[in-house]
Amino acid sequence: MIDIRLLLHQLYDFLLYFTFPIRRWLLRALVVLAVIPGVFVFQMPLELRMAFAYPYVIVMGLGLYSVANIYAGSAVQLAAMFIFGRRYKTWEYTTSEVENLQVRMGLTGIKVFITNNRFVWGPFTNAVTKKVYLTEKWLKENPTSEILSTLGHEFGHVLTRRRFALETAGAAAAVIMTSILLALHSIAIVVQVEEFAALVLMLTWVSWRNEYRADMVSARFLGPEGLISVLEQVKGGVKRDQGSETHPPLKDRIVRLYAFMDQAPVLAP
């Protein structure tokens, strides 16, 4: 008799092998394999054409899981925040330093909240509603300079949200146009694989640019030292600093902030 529980554990251990670097190379390979052999599909015999499509179905399933693996945690976190959020307290956080920072950055209407919700793992921003959330535990563990630098990063997301939206729309449009051209020469499953893989790669690229940009905004107004300290702390608490579909590796962000320190002046308060 098959032990379903053991089988699921073994499957889970296997899927953990798909770290972000492996997921990224898998997606790149999918794009290349979809475009190069994919345009010759109609020149193949029907039997070979069908045999050619089956591996794409399998690989697309693996690719979907590999990406869902990183977003599932965020989805569960957001769902838990909404479902159980009323059990926890949320209150507005404001100080003269925070208000001064908003004035210097030319931002209005941004509200910062503190929450003791255990489903909130760290600072995050809803750029649409202009609301920033900090956890009570994180706030107690960090000095004012690092809190302000982190808020500078979060405010940077609001300050540059239009550029992020335009880049996201541009990336999606480029993928759609490429897929339409490929569809003229290939079959549906190959086009779907290419579209899926290319879209994730492009959105990762846009998301990384957005994070780097927010870091630079914070450094320009507050200096990079506070944010470097925050990122170093986070880096010390992770097993593998490889980045993800939404955030670049911490070491790369730190290197860029050090480079900023040597090249660009900080705006005077």
Whether residue 42 lies inside any domain: the answer is yes
Whether residue 101 lies inside any domain: the answer is no
Single out the residue of 174, 173, 263, 157 nearest to residue 209, CA to CA. Answer: 157
Number of domains in the chain: 1
Give the model's pLDDT for residue 213: 96
CA dihedral 38, 43, 48, 54 (to 10 degrees): 20
Whether residue 121 lies inside any domain: the answer is no
Give the model's pLDDT for residue 254: 95
Whether residue 129 lies inside any domain: the answer is no
CB-based contacts of 114, cutoff 8 Å, min separation 6: 90, 91, 92, 93, 133, 134, 135, 136, 139
Whether residue 81 lies inside any domain: the answer is yes
Whether residue 115 lies inside any domain: the answer is no
* Cβ–Cβ under 8 Å, residues 93 and 112: yes
CA distances from 92 to 111, 124, 138 (A): 7, 15, 15
Q: What pTM was estimated for this model as a whole? A: 0.83
d(CA 245, CA 211): 12
d(CA 78, CA 91): 18
Give the model's pLDDT for residue 91: 85
Whether residue 122 lies inside any domain: the answer is no
- Burial track 183-222 (b if 16+ CB lie within 10 A, e otherwise): beebbebbbbbbbbbbbbbbbbebbbbbbebbbbbbbbbb
Range of the domain at 36: 4-87+159-263
Give the model's pLDDT for residue 226: 93
Whether residue 95 lies inside any domain: the answer is no
Give the model's pLDDT for residue 19: 78
**Would you write out the chain's pLDDT as a tens digit for each of its 269 residues?**
555 566 555 555 555 567 788 888 888 888 887 787 777 777 777 777 777 666 766 666 666 665 565 555 556 656 666 665 566 678 899 899 999 999 999 998 899 999 887 767 788 888 888 889 898 888 998 999 999 999 999 999 999 999 999 999 999 999 999 999 888 888 777 788 888 889 889 989 999 999 999 999 999 999 999 999 999 999 998 888 988 888 999 999 999 999 998 776 677 56
Single out the residue of 179, 182, 233, 165 nearest to residue 40, CA to CA. Answer: 182
